[in-house]
Amino acid sequence: MVPPQAPENVRDTVPARQRRKEARPQELLDAALELFVEKGFAATRAEEVAARAGVSKGTLYLYYPSKEDLLKAVILRNISHEIAEGVGIVAAHEGSAAELLQLVLHEWWRRFGETPASGICKLMMSEVRNFPDIGRFFAAEVIEPMHALLGSVLQRGIERGEFRPLPIPQVVQLLMAPMLFIVMHKHSFGACEGVELGVDPTRLIDTQVDIVLQGIALAPATKGRR
Protein backbone atom coordinates (compact mmCIF):
# COMPACT_ATOMS: atom_id res chain seq x y z
CA MET A 1 0.00 0.00 0.00
CA VAL A 2 2.60 2.51 1.07
CA PRO A 3 5.57 2.29 -1.27
CA PRO A 4 8.70 1.27 0.59
CA GLN A 5 10.68 4.33 -0.42
CA ALA A 6 13.84 5.05 1.48
CA PRO A 7 14.40 8.64 2.60
CA GLU A 8 16.97 9.79 0.09
CA ASN A 9 18.22 12.80 1.97
CA VAL A 10 19.68 11.24 5.08
CA ARG A 11 23.02 9.81 4.19
CA ASP A 12 25.66 11.15 6.46
CA THR A 13 28.25 8.88 7.92
CA VAL A 14 26.55 5.55 8.48
CA PRO A 15 25.35 3.46 5.56
CA ALA A 16 21.68 3.81 4.68
CA ARG A 17 20.80 0.26 5.66
CA GLN A 18 22.11 0.76 9.16
CA ARG A 19 20.26 4.03 9.55
CA ARG A 20 17.04 2.37 8.54
CA LYS A 21 17.71 -0.36 11.00
CA GLU A 22 18.15 2.02 13.87
CA ALA A 23 15.11 4.01 12.88
CA ARG A 24 12.91 0.95 12.50
CA PRO A 25 11.44 0.76 15.97
CA GLN A 26 10.33 4.38 15.90
CA GLU A 27 8.98 4.07 12.37
CA LEU A 28 6.99 1.04 13.42
CA LEU A 29 5.67 2.77 16.51
CA ASP A 30 4.66 5.81 14.48
CA ALA A 31 2.88 3.70 11.92
CA ALA A 32 1.18 1.70 14.64
CA LEU A 33 0.04 4.81 16.48
CA GLU A 34 -1.49 6.23 13.35
CA LEU A 35 -3.32 3.07 12.48
CA PHE A 36 -4.44 2.23 16.00
CA VAL A 37 -5.84 5.73 16.33
CA GLU A 38 -7.51 5.58 12.93
CA LYS A 39 -9.04 2.13 13.05
CA GLY A 40 -8.70 0.88 16.59
CA PHE A 41 -6.31 -1.73 17.89
CA ALA A 42 -8.32 -4.85 17.14
CA ALA A 43 -9.29 -3.69 13.67
CA THR A 44 -5.74 -2.90 12.61
CA ARG A 45 -3.82 -5.73 11.03
CA ALA A 46 -0.20 -6.29 11.87
CA GLU A 47 0.61 -6.38 8.18
CA GLU A 48 -0.84 -2.91 7.68
CA VAL A 49 1.43 -1.52 10.34
CA ALA A 50 4.43 -3.13 8.72
CA ALA A 51 3.41 -1.89 5.30
CA ARG A 52 2.96 1.68 6.51
CA ALA A 53 6.39 1.52 8.12
CA GLY A 54 7.77 0.26 4.84
CA VAL A 55 8.83 -3.17 6.06
CA SER A 56 7.50 -6.66 5.75
CA LYS A 57 5.28 -8.45 8.18
CA GLY A 58 8.12 -10.59 9.45
CA THR A 59 10.26 -7.60 10.29
CA LEU A 60 7.63 -6.21 12.60
CA TYR A 61 7.89 -9.37 14.66
CA LEU A 62 11.66 -9.00 14.88
CA TYR A 63 11.11 -5.87 16.91
CA TYR A 64 7.91 -6.58 18.80
CA PRO A 65 7.02 -10.10 19.83
CA SER A 66 3.27 -9.61 19.48
CA LYS A 67 0.68 -7.12 18.38
CA GLU A 68 -0.25 -6.52 21.98
CA ASP A 69 3.34 -5.78 22.88
CA LEU A 70 3.40 -3.36 19.98
CA LEU A 71 0.41 -1.57 21.41
CA LYS A 72 2.04 -1.36 24.81
CA ALA A 73 5.21 0.01 23.27
CA VAL A 74 3.21 2.55 21.29
CA ILE A 75 1.54 3.78 24.41
CA LEU A 76 4.59 3.76 26.63
CA ARG A 77 6.65 5.44 23.96
CA ASN A 78 4.14 8.24 23.54
CA ILE A 79 3.43 9.11 27.11
CA SER A 80 5.53 10.62 29.90
CA HIS A 81 7.60 12.86 27.69
CA GLU A 82 6.03 16.25 28.04
CA ILE A 83 5.50 16.50 31.73
CA ALA A 84 9.07 17.34 32.68
CA GLU A 85 9.07 20.29 30.36
CA GLY A 86 5.91 21.63 31.93
CA VAL A 87 7.49 21.38 35.34
CA GLY A 88 10.42 23.41 34.07
CA ILE A 89 8.17 26.10 32.69
CA VAL A 90 6.26 26.42 35.94
CA ALA A 91 9.40 26.50 38.02
CA ALA A 92 11.01 29.15 35.84
CA HIS A 93 7.99 31.41 35.62
CA GLU A 94 8.09 34.64 37.58
CA GLY A 95 4.96 36.55 36.48
CA SER A 96 1.34 36.20 37.60
CA ALA A 97 -0.37 32.84 38.07
CA ALA A 98 -2.94 33.90 35.48
CA GLU A 99 -0.23 34.39 32.88
CA LEU A 100 1.38 31.13 33.86
CA LEU A 101 -1.87 29.25 33.52
CA GLN A 102 -2.36 30.62 30.07
CA LEU A 103 1.21 29.78 29.14
CA VAL A 104 1.01 26.21 30.37
CA LEU A 105 -2.22 25.48 28.53
CA HIS A 106 -0.97 27.00 25.30
CA GLU A 107 2.30 25.10 25.52
CA TRP A 108 0.40 21.87 26.12
CA TRP A 109 -1.53 22.48 22.99
CA ARG A 110 1.51 23.46 20.95
CA ARG A 111 3.74 20.62 22.07
CA PHE A 112 1.21 17.85 22.34
CA GLY A 113 -2.35 18.73 21.40
CA GLU A 114 -1.60 19.66 17.84
CA THR A 115 0.97 16.93 17.16
CA PRO A 116 0.15 13.40 16.02
CA ALA A 117 1.13 12.23 19.50
CA SER A 118 -2.22 13.51 20.72
CA GLY A 119 -3.76 10.49 19.07
CA ILE A 120 -2.53 8.56 22.06
CA CYS A 121 -5.41 10.06 24.04
CA LYS A 122 -8.02 8.56 21.81
CA LEU A 123 -6.12 5.31 21.66
CA MET A 124 -5.91 5.00 25.41
CA MET A 125 -9.51 5.95 25.93
CA SER A 126 -10.51 3.23 23.51
CA GLU A 127 -8.26 0.52 24.82
CA VAL A 128 -7.60 0.97 28.55
CA ARG A 129 -10.32 -1.37 29.58
CA ASN A 130 -8.57 -4.12 27.69
CA PHE A 131 -5.19 -3.19 29.18
CA PRO A 132 -5.80 -1.98 32.72
CA ASP A 133 -2.17 -2.06 33.83
CA ILE A 134 -1.29 0.39 31.13
CA GLY A 135 -4.18 2.50 32.33
CA ARG A 136 -2.79 2.54 35.84
CA PHE A 137 0.66 3.30 34.55
CA PHE A 138 -0.68 6.19 32.49
CA ALA A 139 -2.68 7.53 35.43
CA ALA A 140 0.36 7.47 37.66
CA GLU A 141 2.93 8.72 35.16
CA VAL A 142 0.96 11.26 33.17
CA ILE A 143 -2.36 12.23 34.63
CA GLU A 144 -1.17 12.61 38.21
CA PRO A 145 1.88 14.73 37.36
CA MET A 146 -0.12 16.90 35.00
CA HIS A 147 -2.78 17.47 37.62
CA ALA A 148 -0.13 18.20 40.20
CA LEU A 149 1.39 20.69 37.83
CA LEU A 150 -1.82 22.55 37.17
CA GLY A 151 -2.77 22.22 40.79
CA SER A 152 0.44 23.94 41.81
CA VAL A 153 -0.29 26.82 39.46
CA LEU A 154 -3.74 27.24 40.95
CA GLN A 155 -2.35 26.95 44.43
CA ARG A 156 0.15 29.63 43.69
CA GLY A 157 -2.61 31.89 42.36
CA ILE A 158 -4.73 31.35 45.44
CA GLU A 159 -1.81 32.01 47.72
CA ARG A 160 -0.94 35.18 45.85
CA GLY A 161 -4.52 36.41 46.12
CA GLU A 162 -5.11 36.26 42.40
CA PHE A 163 -7.66 33.46 42.56
CA ARG A 164 -10.47 32.90 45.01
CA PRO A 165 -10.33 29.75 47.15
CA LEU A 166 -11.08 26.81 44.86
CA PRO A 167 -11.63 23.07 44.94
CA ILE A 168 -8.36 22.55 43.15
CA PRO A 169 -8.85 19.00 41.81
CA GLN A 170 -12.14 19.91 40.26
CA VAL A 171 -10.84 23.05 38.65
CA VAL A 172 -7.92 21.14 37.26
CA GLN A 173 -10.37 18.76 35.60
CA LEU A 174 -12.30 21.70 34.26
CA LEU A 175 -9.14 23.17 32.83
CA MET A 176 -8.01 20.01 31.11
CA ALA A 177 -11.36 18.67 29.96
CA PRO A 178 -11.97 21.03 27.05
CA MET A 179 -8.48 20.52 25.72
CA LEU A 180 -8.65 16.78 25.98
CA PHE A 181 -12.05 16.91 24.42
CA ILE A 182 -10.77 18.83 21.44
CA VAL A 183 -7.98 16.34 21.01
CA MET A 184 -10.32 13.40 21.09
CA HIS A 185 -12.75 15.09 18.76
CA LYS A 186 -9.96 15.75 16.30
CA HIS A 187 -9.10 12.06 16.14
CA SER A 188 -12.65 10.81 15.93
CA PHE A 189 -15.45 12.96 14.58
CA GLY A 190 -12.98 15.48 13.29
CA ALA A 191 -11.68 12.91 10.81
CA CYS A 192 -15.14 12.40 9.31
CA GLU A 193 -15.79 14.25 6.13
CA GLY A 194 -18.64 16.63 6.81
CA VAL A 195 -18.31 16.90 10.55
CA GLU A 196 -16.62 20.05 11.77
CA LEU A 197 -15.89 21.14 15.30
CA GLY A 198 -16.91 24.66 14.34
CA VAL A 199 -14.37 26.38 16.53
CA ASP A 200 -10.67 26.98 16.23
CA PRO A 201 -8.75 25.14 18.97
CA THR A 202 -6.39 28.02 19.77
CA ARG A 203 -9.26 30.44 20.04
CA LEU A 204 -11.10 28.01 22.22
CA ILE A 205 -8.19 27.90 24.60
CA ASP A 206 -8.18 31.70 24.68
CA THR A 207 -11.87 31.76 25.51
CA GLN A 208 -11.37 29.02 28.06
CA VAL A 209 -8.61 30.99 29.76
CA ASP A 210 -10.65 34.16 29.57
CA ILE A 211 -13.73 32.67 31.17
CA VAL A 212 -11.94 30.58 33.72
CA LEU A 213 -9.72 33.40 34.81
CA GLN A 214 -12.72 35.63 35.38
CA GLY A 215 -14.47 32.64 36.88
CA ILE A 216 -11.82 31.86 39.41
CA ALA A 217 -10.69 35.40 40.01
CA LEU A 218 -11.06 36.81 43.47
CA ALA A 219 -14.28 38.26 42.25
CA PRO A 220 -15.13 41.91 43.13
CA ALA A 221 -11.74 43.12 42.22
CA THR A 222 -11.54 41.71 38.74
CA LYS A 223 -10.57 44.95 37.14
CA GLY A 224 -7.53 45.03 35.10
CA ARG A 225 -8.59 41.82 33.41
CA ARG A 226 -7.35 41.88 29.91
**Rule CB under 7 A: which residues touch DNA?**
4, 15-17, 20-21, 24, 44-47, 55-59, 61-62, 65-68
Work out how close the CB of 67 gets to its own copies at its nearest, in angstroms, rounded to a whole number: 12
95's contact among DNA, its own copies, none, with CB below 5 to 8 A by partner kind, is none
The residue count of the chain comes to 226
Cβ closer to its own copies: 9 or 170?
170
Work out how close the CB of 9 gets to its own copies at its nearest, in angstroms, rounded to a whole number: 28
Cβ closer to its own copies: 4 or 198?
198
* Interface contacts to its own copies, rule CB under 8 A: 38-43, 98, 122, 124-130, 132, 135-136, 138-139, 143, 147, 167, 169-171, 173-174, 176-178, 180-182, 184, 187-189, 191-195, 197-199, 203-204, 207-208, 210-217, 219-223, 225-226
39's contact among its own copies, DNA, none, with CB below 5 to 8 A by partner kind, is its own copies
216's contact among its own copies, DNA, none, with CB below 5 to 8 A by partner kind, is its own copies
Cβ closer to its own copies: 26 or 173?
173
